[in-house]
Structure 1
């Protein structure tokens, strides 16, 4: 049954509009967007309610019930900063799981999680706060994905993988089982991770190696 809560999206760019489209297609109510770059515009997916500074005021006025973050992979530190500040101000973050995704009953999801079509989350997977999975991600058993991370389309994580905070795994990245990725790790498209990556940085190739 569609939720009656009205969801606002922070970020009116391509990611935010894609999120709004998924929400509306499943009967969810999108109140609008907040965006500092176009604080009074109307997008194809709805109107902009104001800049970031207006979030608390608009929430207090009853114009939305929950928030989701549409800040993309180019601004990972900002994703965390905005999320933490708004949570501290008492703004509630919603969740979205597309009905075409398989999410095992044992999966644990933090606030602000967004799961796109065709994803698979297996036994005992945990997604921490503000994690976004693009279309077709496969997350195998006992894997943990740290807060504010983004997984691009077609990412595959084998069992017992640990992904740190603010990671961005590029399209088609594969991580073999029982590996750990530290905070602020980024991978290029098609990378295959075959060893632990404790240091922040960008890793590309097969096997994935850090760019100098």
Structure 2
């Protein structure tokens, strides 16, 4: 078993990663070069373990290191070590890439599914709707006058049975019976199964 690589400052007198990040936060490019040299390998290793794709892993590792440069001022040593902070950034970015790739794959699958559905034909739909309207008109014409008026007022104008009865000056029971009989005749005329 190999010894873990120590990436904190130590007895050599080199500045610790925390100190380097503080200098990076102030815009010190040479400090960032040291941070880069120190964490690039572990970051790439972590990202590769999540993504598995070497090319994507290199891209994400580069994004993480750019993020370290941009966010160095946000590092708070009181909340944890510099290595943990950098590796957390790396892990989050790698997981985001996996989720993004999965979402893209899901979108592609849904798009492919939609491509398999039959195309909507507007002309056919318009013709069918017109034919259905004509058939309903023809069937309405086969009703008695009171049945036709009752059905038209109740279903096309949205009136209640009581309102239809008042408008036609007919007893409520008569209107209900004519509506029921009219709907049965319409159903039979249109060929709708009960």
Category of TM-score, reference length = shorter chain: under 0.3
Larger fraction in helix:
2
Q: What is the TM-score with the length of structure 2 in the denominator?
A: 0.25
TM-score by length of 1: 0.23
Greater length-normalized contact order (CA 8 Å, ≥ 6 residues apart): 2
